[in-house]
Chains A and B, each alone.
Chain A
Amino acid sequence: MAERSAERTTERTVGGIAERASGWSPGRAGSVGTGLLAYRLVAGAWLRSALAYRWQFWLELTGNALITFLDFAVLAVMYAHVRHLGGFSLAEAGFLYGTSGVCLGLADTLMGSTERLGDRIRDGSLDVVLLRPAPALAQLAADRFALRRLGRVVQGGAVLGWSLAALPVQWTWGRAVMVPLLLVCGTAIFCAVFVVGAAFQFWAPGGAEAQNALTYGGGTLLQFPPTVFGRELVRGVVYGVPLAFVNWLPAMYVLGRPLPFGLPPVLRFGAPVAAVVCAAVAGAAWRAGLRSYRSTGS
């Protein structure tokens, strides 16, 4: 009996190593399914929890709508005075504003809660998450899930819709396909940045601010044409933290503009590669962080 169980143990261990080496296995596909299920369950539970405090729910919703509207009003006022910004027309700038808003908004809705990881580490409630039979990342991403985060998506989407109608662009198949591709890849890149920022909190539980600088700060950066910024900053978000792939680079293809600062033109099509690389880096960072997790005393 003991021998048989020992044999099974070795098999499992070998299986585990094989899974790590190949990076993909039927088990991995199963864990994606479990992750999605967990995300749905946890998000649903939080939505219902939010309804336990109806007043707070409505106040937050109103507050968020107000802030989002003000944000937009400021921009509208600005463009009412300046017709061109960094050589970009109002419709072109609207394209950048809209795509940045939609991508960041979707990523924030899906993954934004991971920034609370530091709190969960400090109060020890991450342990509870790790005890459930579902990937921790999926559960944490759905933590405190709130629909109000979609506000940014709605507002960005409206501006994007207007800009698409107003753009003086000759629509080709390539350009038409590039727009949804941009949104998907851009959302993926922002999601990856959220996850890397969260993983960083395993080592520095107070690191949410650094994460915010990259995500929300990056989102604001990308609302404006790259030409209004300095060469070094733009190169930094191309070759460093690849936020430029979210909208700046693919947008130049859609808008039929040359890349600024002598960047190689092929980068306009680099978004899918950048998204895959970001996702891989985020996955690796997350696993490394989880392994170095040290929990708190009880």
Chain B
Amino acid sequence: MTVIEVSGVAKTFSVRRRAEGRLRRERVEVRAVSGLDFTVGKGEMVGYIGPNGAGKSTTVKMLTGILAPSAGRLRVAGVDPARERVALARRVGVVFGQRTTLWWDLPLRDSYALVRRMYRLPADRFRATLERCTELLELGPLLDVPVRQLSLGQRMRADIAAALLHEPEVLYLDEPTIGLDVLSRNRVRSFLREQNAEHGTTVLLTTHDLTDIEQLCHRVMVIDHGSLVYDGSLDGLHTAGGSERTLVVDLAEEREPIAIPGARTVRVEGPRQWLAFPAGATAAPLVAAVAERYPLVDLSVREPAIEDVIARLYAGGPSALTPAAADPV
């Protein structure tokens, strides 16, 4: 079942810019997003990544109805967000990592009570959800603390809980782990995993931290210059990005560079040699071939860093690979 449906969506801003050496200002059309097409099914957890200014936040704002698209069609839970923003707000939850929805000067508990009344939540459902969030996000000791006294990590956890109190079908997270320490990150990630698994909440996660994606999302969408350059599985990203894995072999003695089909030797350092092979291929036949012809002592396989793949993707733009080709997982 499709929860988010985006087809042919574009957003253009017209920006006034001062013309060179003149007092008059000229209008310039800036494309934030163009020709955006994707769907997200119920219960999916999708990573949405791209460099700064690629259009991630613009997309999320259009999906919540904060911004109206310039062209195309958007549906979230069967509703046109821009037209029915207020009705949709009851069914989606949003966490903007850099802004808080909490009341700065009031105890955390009061912010949650306001959410309950604003969303008109039944008292027992609310209490149950709050208890669960409080326990999993370890908010118990913080409930009576004014929000302005919370640390960034505590505030982020508190914000995530606030976005889930009305049990939304869809959760948008914009940089939920930005600026958090390792412990807070892990706590947030395990909570999101649980929320997705137990409650079937559809999650769209915008982040610069690729570990978030690796740990949470089976599917990833990459946006650059306002259009999708990749939509598919995380593994597929390696293949699509033309990335290579590395087989590191330790031989019993120094030898000439290894020559076997399916791999090329990229580095030799004494008895140790580095062989690169396509990320999509398996290492087993290579290992067998090396072991057969060379005195193999030890070996290890190194995965390509996802950062490198993505960096290559951003640099290459849409032509770097077949756009949005892979099947959604």
Contact = CB atoms under 8 A, between A and B. Distances in A.
A134 interface: yes
B125 to A, nearest CB: 16
Interface stretch (A5-13, A87-95, A213-221): A5-13
Nearest to A20: B83
Interface string B66-94: 11100000010011101111110110001
Given A49-B104, A124-B99, A12 B80 contact: yes
A68 interface: no
B294 interface: no
Contacts of A38: 118
B65 interface: yes
A12 B88 CA distance: 12
Contacts of B140: none
A69 to B, nearest CB: 29
Given A131-B94, A294-B13, A16 B86 contact: no
Contacts of A1: 1
B126 interface: no
A255 B53 CA distance: 63
Interface string A263-298: 000000000000000000000000000010111011
A2 B86 contact: no
B265 interface: no
Contacts of A13: 80, 83
B96 interface: yes
B174 A298 contact: yes
Nearest to B64: A131
Contacts of A206: none
A52 B148 CA distance: 11
A49 B64 contact: no
A16 B103 contact: no
Interface in A1-48: 1-2, 5, 8-9, 12-13, 16, 31, 34, 37-38, 41, 45, 48
B197 interface: no
B114 A45 contact: yes
B118 A134 contact: yes
A127 interface: yes
Contacts of B75: 9
A41 B118 contact: yes
A135 interface: yes
B156 to A, nearest CB: 14
A133 interface: yes
A289 B117 CA distance: 28
Given A127-B99, A293-B67, A133 B78 contact: no
Interface in B151-189: 174-175
A52 B105 contact: yes
Given A128-B96, A298-B99, A5 B78 contact: yes
Contacts of B83: 13, 16
Given A38-B118, A130-B85, A131-B94, A9 B78 contact: yes
| Size class of the A contact interface (CB-based, 8 Å) | 20 to 34
A125 interface: yes
A49 B117 CA distance: 17
Contacts of A131: 64, 66, 89, 94, 101
Contacts of A295: 57-58, 61, 66-67
B86 A37 contact: no
Interface string B101-114: 10111100010001
Nearest to B89: A133
Contacts of A48: 105-106, 110
A124 B101 CA distance: 12
Contacts of A293: 66-67
A127 B57 CA distance: 11
B66 A130 contact: yes
A257 interface: no
Contacts of B174: 298
Nearest to A38: B118
B99 A125 contact: yes
A294 B61 CA distance: 10
Interface string A198-242: 000000000000000000000000000000000000000000000
B64 A130 contact: yes
A175 B241 CA distance: 81
A139 to B, nearest CB: 9
12 contacts: A13-B80, A16-B83, A37-B118, A38-B118, A45-B103, A128-B100, A128-B101, A130-B85, A133-B86, A135-B86, A291-B68, A291-B82
Given A52-B146, A53-B105, A297-B57, 18 more contacts: A16-B83, A34-B86, A45-B103, A48-B105, A52-B105, A124-B98, A124-B99, A127-B61, A128-B100, A128-B101, A131-B64, A133-B118, A291-B82, A293-B67, A295-B67, A298-B98, A298-B99, A298-B175
In the A-B complex, the 9 residue pairs with the closest CB atoms? A133-B89, A49-B105, A52-B105, A130-B66, A133-B90, A298-B57, A9-B78, A16-B83, A128-B101
